[in-house]
Structure 1
Amino acid sequence: MKHPLILASSSPFRQSLLQKFNLPFSTFSPDIDETALPNEAPEQLVYRLSESKARAAVKHFDQGLVIGSDQVAVFNGQILGKPHNKENAIVQLSLFSGQTVTFLTGLCVYDIAANKAKTLIEPFEVVFKTLTLEQIEAYCDAEQPYNCAGSFKSEGLGICLFEKLNGDDPNSLIGLPLIKLNQLLTEFDFDVLAHQ
């Protein structure tokens, strides 16, 4: 294959999503500082980080199409972090009850040899059901989503917290918008179906 695919992520969720393309790919951990810059908007943050992750591949590879992705959850204009413990998760999920949370996923494809990158942002909205404290506590005990931005795992039991999902690609909620990724790869003359 002329363009080996490289995933700039150690996330098992992103790796399993990319496996849907039925193609071999390499992975590496980009190991970059993900701290937001002062006054950086959520859109700017995911754009910058997804591209930085992809460009980090030059330390490990000489050529290939590198896929970088980064995601933030945004509520009332604020970036949501990982809760890290049950108390914080309960606070986050209580705030979201009956509300809408927007996920922004930055996606970058970077051609190492050509030193050319294309980056986009894919939004996705999650509308939460009205939740009781008992439901929130039961969810936290069952899934312990303390390392997930927004305190839930949409690919697991977290789906029971939602009333509605609004977006073009449910994969983007898990961290890799495959429909847009397929389109971006086509712009680099890489046709996923032709490589089957």
Structure 2
Amino acid sequence: MQKNVILASTSVFRQQQLRTLGVDFIAAKPMFDETPLAGETAHDTALRLAVGKAQSLAAIYPQHLIIGADQVAWCHNRQLGKPMSVEKAAAMLRELSGQHIEFYSAICVLDTVSGSLNSHVDTTIVQMRELSDAQIARYLARESDAIYCAGAAKSEGLGAALLQKIDSTDPNALIGLPIFWLVSCLMAHGVEVI
């Protein structure tokens, strides 16, 4: 019997990625504190948050596959979150202009029947273009969702114009879900994707 799939995320970007695969799922808001821990690497933060989000819904969905995901950006020896305002996004983009940024996109699949947990972290290296204040302002005026993206660069939209180069094994990971890994994991759990 195929288990129902829960996406532990309210991210419209992740939901769209899962819809594109044709997977039937329910999106549920995880109840998990997303504050990074002192001394934690970006990789470890992303993985802990992805797993924590999935586990936070296990009691509510006891016979399901729960997908947890999170992404953390790293530049200048610090983690970058979602700016959540145009002013913070502009400041973040000025700081990131011309820089290399590492994006850690963590994902897990928790089978709440067996208790098994599979996880993966995909690393994407992005080279940002040199950006003027005018370019940043125009971008943020046209791409209002950028404030909800780690590093303020919505790569699947106009944010692609901010990028000079992407080095990744899965270009989907930069949007929020490492799809290549996820498809293999879901199929191993009996979810027919293709």
The residue correspondences of 1:38-53 to structure 2 (distance < 5 A) are 38-53=38-53
**Is 2:95 the partner of 1:123?**
no
Contact 2:2 2:190 in 1 (8 A): no
Question: How far apart, in 1, do the equivalents of 2:104 and 2:174 lie?
Answer: 9
How many positions carry a matched residue from both structures?
Answer: 193
Paired amino acid for 1:76: H
**Is 2:176 the partner of 1:184?**
no
Render the CA deviation track for 1:98-151: whole Å, top value 9, x for unaligned.
211111011101100001101111111221112222211221222243332212
Structure 1 unaligned segments of length 5 or more: list them.
none
What is the DSSP-based 3-state SS (H/G/I as helix, E as strand, rest coil) of the residue aligned with 1:163? strand
**Is 2:167 the partner of 1:163?**
no
Render the CA deviation track for 1:26-54: whole Å, top value 9, x for unaligned.
22111210011121111111111111111
Question: How far apart, in 1, do the equivalents of 2:87 and 2:191 lie?
Answer: 46
Paired amino acid for 1:63: Q
1:85–1:62 Cα change, 3 Å: closer
- Once superposed, which parts of structure 1, at least 4 consecutive aligned residues long, lie more than 6 Å away? none
What is the DSSP-based 3-state SS (H/G/I as helix, E as strand, rest coil) of the residue aligned with 1:59? coil
Q: Could you state the TM-score of these two structures normalised by the residue count of structure 2?
A: 0.91
Cα shift at 1:185: 2.2
Structure 2 unaligned segments of length 5 or more: list them.
none
Q: Could you state the TM-score of these two structures normalised by the residue count of structure 1?
A: 0.91
Q: Mean alpha-carbon deviation: is it higher for 138-147 or for 73-82? A: 138-147
1:119–1:163 Cα change, 3 Å: same
